[in-house]
Chains A and B, each alone.
Chain A
Amino acid sequence: MRADLSPELAPRLAEELGLKPAEYEHVVEILDRTPTVTELYMYSLMWSEHCSYKHSRKALRMFPTEGPAVLQGPGENAGVIGVGDGWAVAFKMESHNHPSAIEPYQGAATGVGGIIRDIFTMGARPIAILDSLRFGTLDKPRQRYLFEGAVAGIGGYGNCLGVPTVGGEVYFEEAYEGNCLINAMAIGLMREEDLMRAVAAGPGNLLVLIGSTTGRDGIGGASVLASQEFDEKAEEKRPSVQVGDPFTEKLLIEACLELLSRDLLVALGDLGAAGLTSSASEMASRGGVGLEIDVTLVPQREDAMKPFEIMVSESQERMLAVVTPESLGEVQDICERWGLPATVIGQVTDTGRFVIREGDEVVGDMPAATLAHDAPIYDPAAERPAYLDELHAFDPLAEFDHPDEPEMLTSTLFDLLASPNICSRRWIWEQYDHQVMQGTVVLPGSDAAVLRIGLPGRGEVTERGIAVSSDCNGRYVYLDPYVGAQIAVAEAARNVACSGGRPAAITDCLNFGSPEKPEVFWTFREAIRGMADACRAWETPVISGNVSFYNESFGQPIYPTPTVGLVGILEDVAHHTTLAFKEAGDVIVLLGETEAELGGSEYLKVAFDTVAGAPPRVDLEHEAALREVLLAAIGEGLLRSAHDCSEGGLAVALAESCIAGGVGADVHLDLDENGDMLPPVAALFSETQGRAVVSVVEDDVNRVIEIALSHGVPYAVVGEVGGESLRIDGLVDAEVAALEGIYEDALATYVHPEETFASEELREG
């Protein structure tokens, strides 16, 4: 045993690595001696916030995680649900915020790489990527650099893999300026019986490292980057960002799926945060076995690497497999065919200990389960933020002088459609291959992406489908974490239902500031409580997820952003719907009722640069009933289009359906007849939840109304598709071509402010 640290030096190194004094004491207690350098590195990483969830674990227990469709809940590399006929999908969302804030291209690229590995580790072929992004405002060059870099990185990696990037969302808010968010979600498809778990078993079995060589890149990524907030030293952390090689990842996907399909692996795990340390110790602890690794056997790309460097390196595109000695030859043959090294680096033991050797010398010897499971669990202090009362007291309608003249209202609609948070995302998704694998039935730009279940070209094409959406308006969560988090789930579920999918389960990526700040932690807990209540009520369990804390810069936390990724099921993928109005003469029906809810709205932000008020209410029962109406109507083939109302309210929803369909609409809200007289800005731009704009052939209107009535969902027949303009009562009158020009060009004009665009002339003219 190499005793390379004195009892005096060890606690100092521990502190430098981010272990708290009590945590260090606990390590000494577990080992009953002074830890070695290698051991300290391994414990400090495994017990970092990023790997151990030590501040969040308790709160996360609030989530419902079980349901009839759930085949694998949280705790594995990804969650898995059955989607019918023996098919299963694995999915998970994960953050790569801090690396991306330092080096956007590689940070975002390796974020995609990491989440894709989590998916095929489960035995599923990755079939889709979604990305949820948050940046500061685009008037700042640095933010444009981050945004362009992250989009290029996501494309550069995903496009090369041949996995379509089908959806996601992006918001631009000052709150994310010092700490952008890059959340990547991946979805994989498999047969139920092929579900694989990363559980090491069988003493005497071999540990085989497959894929790239190991270097010093990304050392301490999980602890240095992910578990600390940013300050003026952020630039210095650039060496902790990993570099991705999507070509090797593509080979890894093919090789690993082939190994799994031939039943050659006992277990498979990917090397992500904390590298070999976390992958191996988690596999060992799940299986209740021990492991022995000789670091000199690990193929290295740099000279003179120390054992601890090899054990915690976050070099990308590596997988750890457990293989029986009999299968080793075949495993190595298949890997060689794909041009990948597959090297035996150790073996499974029955000692329960994780032993690290450098040749003959032992440099670490720990009870394996303590790395993955003995991290301290904290119960952080929580305190309701003082700012909430002040913000809730704000009454948006009373506070400002709101426009009520048609010209001003029409102009406001233009401003909203040009808002970076609403305008078309085409500039982004046209940089992503969103069609490869022949599964994308509804392209990006609609409420949710719809994918056909099957593996075309491998003899598997079905009529089933899934609809997927990721959502979170951080502004709402900032204003009310409980309600805001519910809205995130509600909107994702509405988007999926508008597309024809029945919501089945969610993954989440919980992005917050420092959990050591009571106000941040209170917000975190409330958000989880809100999501948990919604998920329980709607029977959409949380099957996987990720927590990202310390999203702060210079002491300022981001908007709390619990991003939701939701997957819904379509029994028949032909029964899907898009947001586009289809044909003149179709009747427009509004499902749900509009209330005066402008708190936290995009309208307030765009028109008055204000983020205040209470966010819209969420009525859990109504949301569920609305989805039932949508699904029943889509199932009967009654809806020509369906689009949920979200940021920008009814007016923006109508405009988006017009733009997508290239056709106008004549809408009458009959504001006076209801007797409740909403002010025009509320009628048009209120962000009341639980609403959807649908269009229907005239003959089918009565049937749609019947369905709405039977579920107790309020409805209003509000107008008709047709013409070249969107007209809403006497309040809005705008040519669809002009709306489209503004909507489609806006994002590119923000990214390249020096260029001029035709739409500006259109609007002027």
Chain B
Amino acid sequence: MRFGVVVFPGSNCEQDVVHAIEHLGFAAEYLWHGDMDLGDVDAVVLPGGFSYGDYIRCGAVARFSPIMAEVSRFAERGGPVMGICNGFQILAEAHLLPGAMLRNTGLKFICHAQPLRVEESVCHWLDLPAGIVLDVPVNHNEGNYYCDAETLARLHAGGQVVLRYCEPDGSLAVGGSAPNGALDDIAGICNERGNVFGLMPHPERVVDPVTGGTDGAAFFTTIVRRLAEVAG
């Protein structure tokens, strides 16, 4: 079981993701944006950062990197792909996930611990019971998830809403709990199949207890377990 973590010019969380994976006892390698080969990795992570400086739009340039064609093919074959923060933005730009991220409603970059409620979903990267609250930091300027009403209905109906911003007790505040204005407090979604998953918060930052907590470990351990089961 090997994770591949893609490095785009301007990515800056790739080493954090690799550290988190290694800390959990799994193997990871860096994949270069200019390559057209994923090697023999079993799961792909698009890390956070500012790929191409977030110029034009977050993720708008990175989606054209040569490796993204390979990532798309990998996803179509059912390969697990997780996009964190800028990685989520890239997945949205690449149409591997629906919707888009607008600028935070507060017009400011935000970086703080954030309670997230686990939803009932088909996501391959998380199988914790719905309703559990995880504490995972957010760190972004454009995390205000948006999609049209039809897509939103489809996301809810298809169990594609994976995580929602919430209050510490798991409730959703009237007027929204999202720190960035995200539609329906959506923090993370997956595709219909459940193998492609994008989220704005940074699970890799809460894996090593010395620097924060362990609430982010579940995403990595879940996919490893699932792949092991599939492999039988």
Q: Which residues of chain A have a CB within 8 Å of any CB of chain B?
A: 152, 155-156, 159-162, 245-248, 250-251, 337-339, 429-441, 452, 455-458, 461, 573-574
CA distance A248 to B50 in the complex (A): 11
CA distance A457 to B208 in the complex (A): 12
Could you tell me if A438 and B9 are in contact, using CB atoms closer than 8 angstroms? no
CA distance A25 to B6 in the complex (A): 59
Could you tell me if A458 and B139 are in contact, using CB atoms closer than 8 angstroms? no
The verdict on B112 contacting chain A, using a C-beta distance below 8 Å, is yes
Could you tell me if A162 and B52 are in contact, using CB atoms closer than 8 angstroms? no
Could you tell me if A457 and B14 are in contact, using CB atoms closer than 8 angstroms? yes
CA distance A250 to B9 in the complex (A): 8
Q: Which of B17, B111, B211 contacts A441 (CB 8 A)?
A: B211
Closest to A574 in B: B210
- The bracket for how many chain B residues form the interface is 35 or more
Could you tell me if B18 and A457 are in contact, using CB atoms closer than 8 angstroms? yes
The verdict on B108 contacting chain A, using a C-beta distance below 8 Å, is yes
Could you tell me if B211 and A247 are in contact, using CB atoms closer than 8 angstroms? no
A434 — which chain B residues lie within 8 A by C-beta?
111
One digit per residue, 1 when the CB lies within 8 angstroms of any chain A CB and 0 when it does not, for chain B 103-114 equals 000001111100
CA distance A102 to B19 in the complex (A): 41
B72 — which chain A residues lie within 8 A by C-beta?
none
Could you tell me if B15 and A456 are in contact, using CB atoms closer than 8 angstroms? yes
Interfacial residues of chain B within 1-43, with CB under 8 A of chain A in the complex: 9-20, 22, 34
Closest 10 CB pairs of A and B: A162-B12, A457-B15, A247-B53, A456-B19, A457-B18, A457-B19, A160-B50, A431-B109, A438-B16, A430-B112
The verdict on B55 contacting chain A, using a C-beta distance below 8 Å, is yes
Could you tell me if A436 and B50 are in contact, using CB atoms closer than 8 angstroms? no
CA distance A439 to B10 in the complex (A): 19
A436-B139 contact in complex given A161-B12, A457-B15, C-beta closer than 8 Å: yes
Q: Which of A159, A339, A435 contacts B211 (CB 8 A)?
A: A435
Counting chain A CB atoms within 10 Å of each CB, the highest count among B18, B19, B112, B205 belongs to: B19
Counting chain B CB atoms within 10 Å of each CB, the highest count among A250, A433, A438 belongs to: A438
A245 — which chain B residues lie within 8 A by C-beta?
53
Could you tell me if B111 and A438 are in contact, using CB atoms closer than 8 angstroms? no
Could you tell me if B110 and A430 are in contact, using CB atoms closer than 8 angstroms? yes
Interfacial residues of chain B within 104-127, with CB under 8 A of chain A in the complex: 108-112
CA distance A458 to B53 in the complex (A): 23
Could you tell me if A431 and B49 are in contact, using CB atoms closer than 8 angstroms? no
Could you tell me if A452 and B112 are in contact, using CB atoms closer than 8 angstroms? no
A440 — which chain B residues lie within 8 A by C-beta?
211
Closest to B28 in A: A457
CA distance A440 to B210 in the complex (A): 9
Could you tell me if A433 and B111 are in contact, using CB atoms closer than 8 angstroms? yes
Closest to A254 in B: B9
Q: Could you list some 26 contacts between A and B, CB below 8 A? A: A155-B109, A159-B139, A159-B141, A162-B11, A162-B12, A162-B13, A245-B53, A246-B50, A247-B9, A247-B52, A247-B55, A250-B10, A250-B50, A251-B9, A430-B112, A431-B110, A435-B212, A436-B12, A436-B139, A438-B204, A438-B208, A440-B211, A457-B22, A461-B19, A573-B210, A574-B210
The verdict on B143 contacting chain A, using a C-beta distance below 8 Å, is no
Could you tell me if B108 and A247 are in contact, using CB atoms closer than 8 angstroms? no
Could you tell me if B53 and A456 are in contact, using CB atoms closer than 8 angstroms? no
Q: Which of B14, B16, B108 contacts A431 (CB 8 A)?
A: B108
Closest to B208 in A: A438
A251 — which chain B residues lie within 8 A by C-beta?
9-10
Apart from A431-B109, A438-B15, list 15 A-B contacts with CB within 8 A: A159-B50, A159-B111, A160-B50, A245-B53, A247-B52, A339-B9, A430-B112, A432-B109, A433-B109, A433-B139, A435-B139, A437-B15, A437-B16, A457-B14, A457-B19
Could you tell me if A438 and B50 are in contact, using CB atoms closer than 8 angstroms? no
Least CB distance, A448 to chain B, in whole angstroms: 16
Closest to A429 in B: B111
Q: Which of A162, A339, A432 contacts B49 (CB 8 A)?
A: A162
Could you tell me if A160 and B111 are in contact, using CB atoms closer than 8 angstroms? no
B192 — which chain A residues lie within 8 A by C-beta?
none
Could you tell me if B210 and A458 are in contact, using CB atoms closer than 8 angstroms? no
The verdict on B135 contacting chain A, using a C-beta distance below 8 Å, is no
The verdict on B184 contacting chain A, using a C-beta distance below 8 Å, is no
Could you tell me if A457 and B10 are in contact, using CB atoms closer than 8 angstroms? no
The verdict on B215 contacting chain A, using a C-beta distance below 8 Å, is no
Counting chain B CB atoms within 10 Å of each CB, the highest count among A338, A435, A441, A457 belongs to: A457
The verdict on B167 contacting chain A, using a C-beta distance below 8 Å, is no
CA distance A302 to B204 in the complex (A): 43
Least CB distance, B142 to chain A, in whole angstroms: 12
CA distance A298 to B148 in the complex (A): 50
Counting chain B CB atoms within 10 Å of each CB, the highest count among A162, A429, A434 belongs to: A162
A432-B111 contact in complex given A247-B53, A338-B9, A461-B19, C-beta closer than 8 Å: yes
Counting chain B CB atoms within 10 Å of each CB, the highest count among A338, A435, A437, A440 belongs to: A435
Least CB distance, A446 to chain B, in whole angstroms: 14
Least CB distance, A37 to chain B, in whole angstroms: 36
Closest to B13 in A: A436
Closest to B17 in A: A457
Closest to B50 in A: A160
Could you tell me if A250 and B12 are in contact, using CB atoms closer than 8 angstroms? yes
CA distance A429 to B110 in the complex (A): 9
Least CB distance, B115 to chain A, in whole angstroms: 15
The verdict on B137 contacting chain A, using a C-beta distance below 8 Å, is yes
Least CB distance, A138 to chain B, in whole angstroms: 17
CA distance A155 to B22 in the complex (A): 29
CA distance A156 to B55 in the complex (A): 13
Closest to B112 in A: A430
Least CB distance, B111 to chain A, in whole angstroms: 5
CA distance A432 to B112 in the complex (A): 9
B20 — which chain A residues lie within 8 A by C-beta?
438
Could you tell me if A431 and B111 are in contact, using CB atoms closer than 8 angstroms? yes
B34 — which chain A residues lie within 8 A by C-beta?
337
A246 — which chain B residues lie within 8 A by C-beta?
50, 53
Closest to A165 in B: B111
Closest to B107 in A: A152
A457 — which chain B residues lie within 8 A by C-beta?
14-19, 22
CA distance A435 to B16 in the complex (A): 10
CA distance A195 to B12 in the complex (A): 24
B202 — which chain A residues lie within 8 A by C-beta?
435
B9 — which chain A residues lie within 8 A by C-beta?
247, 250-251, 338-339
CA distance A671 to B64 in the complex (A): 71
A458 — which chain B residues lie within 8 A by C-beta?
15
A573 — which chain B residues lie within 8 A by C-beta?
210
A461 — which chain B residues lie within 8 A by C-beta?
19
B19 — which chain A residues lie within 8 A by C-beta?
438, 456-457, 461
Least CB distance, A152 to chain B, in whole angstroms: 8
Could you tell me if A160 and B211 are in contact, using CB atoms closer than 8 angstroms? no
A439 — which chain B residues lie within 8 A by C-beta?
211
B14 — which chain A residues lie within 8 A by C-beta?
457
A437 — which chain B residues lie within 8 A by C-beta?
15-16
Interfacial residues of chain B within 46-101, with CB under 8 A of chain A in the complex: 48-50, 52-55
CA distance A429 to B108 in the complex (A): 11
Closest to B16 in A: A438
B208 — which chain A residues lie within 8 A by C-beta?
438, 456
CA distance A250 to B109 in the complex (A): 19
Could you tell me if A159 and B109 are in contact, using CB atoms closer than 8 angstroms? yes
Least CB distance, B173 to chain A, in whole angstroms: 13
CA distance A337 to B33 in the complex (A): 11
CA distance A159 to B212 in the complex (A): 19
Least CB distance, B217 to chain A, in whole angstroms: 14
A438-B12 contact in complex given A430-B110, A461-B19, C-beta closer than 8 Å: no
CA distance A574 to B16 in the complex (A): 20
A456-B54 contact in complex given A162-B49, A430-B111, A440-B211, C-beta closer than 8 Å: no
B12 — which chain A residues lie within 8 A by C-beta?
160-162, 250, 436
CA distance A575 to B86 in the complex (A): 34
A152 — which chain B residues lie within 8 A by C-beta?
108-109
CA distance A433 to B13 in the complex (A): 11
Counting chain A CB atoms within 10 Å of each CB, the highest count among B14, B17, B108 belongs to: B108
CA distance A434 to B113 in the complex (A): 11
